[in-house]
Amino acid sequence: MSFFNSPPGSSSKQQGFTLVELMVALVLGLLVVMGATQLFMTTRQTFLTVEEVNRRQEVVSFITNVIAYEVRSSIGVSPWSEQQKVTDSGNLVIQISDGEYGGYCSSGDLQALEYYVNEGSIIVAPKCESTNPTPQPVIFGVEEISFAQGIVEGSEAFVDVTVTLNDGSGKTIAFRFARRSSDIFS
């Protein structure tokens, strides 16, 4: 008597799955896994795109909020020394009235803030009367930034800011900020 054969006269029921059923289940499982993988890849790509847009928005927001405020309320947007012109160095030096900003200098003697780009970051370097604190990166994701000073009727009236983002697109964004304390607004 064979182990696989049923004895004559006994009713046998099939146990387990046939090879065809297993193959169909395997194909269906593979389709579900492929669908989940595609969904994951699409979601990941969307996340990376949104993250890149957020980085761009962060740079633009910083420039329009912080630098624009400082330019508008400055007592001057001019070179820190007579040898260094704003457009020669590509840096922006904003002269601040004493006591207007806190936190940069130990004794509250802030005279100016200098902005420039180094290794993909906008750097702010406070210029204090007694000491000069270490420059600090304030925003990342910038390839290049340039500043040009605009003079109207002999007064430093505005600053043009051009930013190239460090996202591989080569896109540039340009802003113009007018100084409130300029003579042309008096």
Quick check: 70 and 113 in contact, CB under 8 A? yes
User: What local confidence, expressed as pLDDT, does residue 87 receive?
Assistant: 40
For the sheet containing 142-152, what is the strand order?
142-152, 155-165, 172-178
Structure confidence by residue, pLDDT tens digits, 93-119? 887 765 556 667 776 677 888 888 888
Whether 14 has a pLDDT exceeding 90, the answer reads no
Whether 185 has a pLDDT exceeding 50, the answer reads no
Q: Which residue has the higher pLDDT, 89 or 46?
A: 46
Q: What angle do CA 150, 109, 103 make, to 5 degrees?
A: 90
Structure confidence by residue, pLDDT tens digits, 43-88? 999 999 998 888 888 888 888 888 888 877 777 765 433 334 344 4
Residue 68: both structure tokens together = 């624009």
3-state secondary structure of 37: helix
Rounded to an integer, the average pLDDT of 139-160 is 74
Closest of 163, 185, 177 to residue 60, by C-alpha: 163
Strands 136-140, 76-77: parallel, antiparallel or unpaired by DSSP?
unpaired
Q: For residues 144 and 164, give the distance between their C-alpha atoms in angstroms, rounded to a whole number.
A: 5
Q: Where are the beta strands (DSSP E) in 14-119?
A: 76-77, 92-95, 110-118
- Is the whole-model pTM more than 0.85? no
For the chain, how big is the Rg over CA atoms in Å?
A: 33
Q: Using CB atoms within 10 A of its CB, is residue 77 exposed (0-12), middle (13-18) or buried (19+)?
A: buried
User: What local confidence, expressed as pLDDT, does residue 30 receive?
Assistant: 97
Query: What is the 3 state secondary structure string of 94-144?
Result: EECCCCCCCCCCCCCCEEEEEEEEECCEEEEEEEECCCCCCCEEEEECEEE
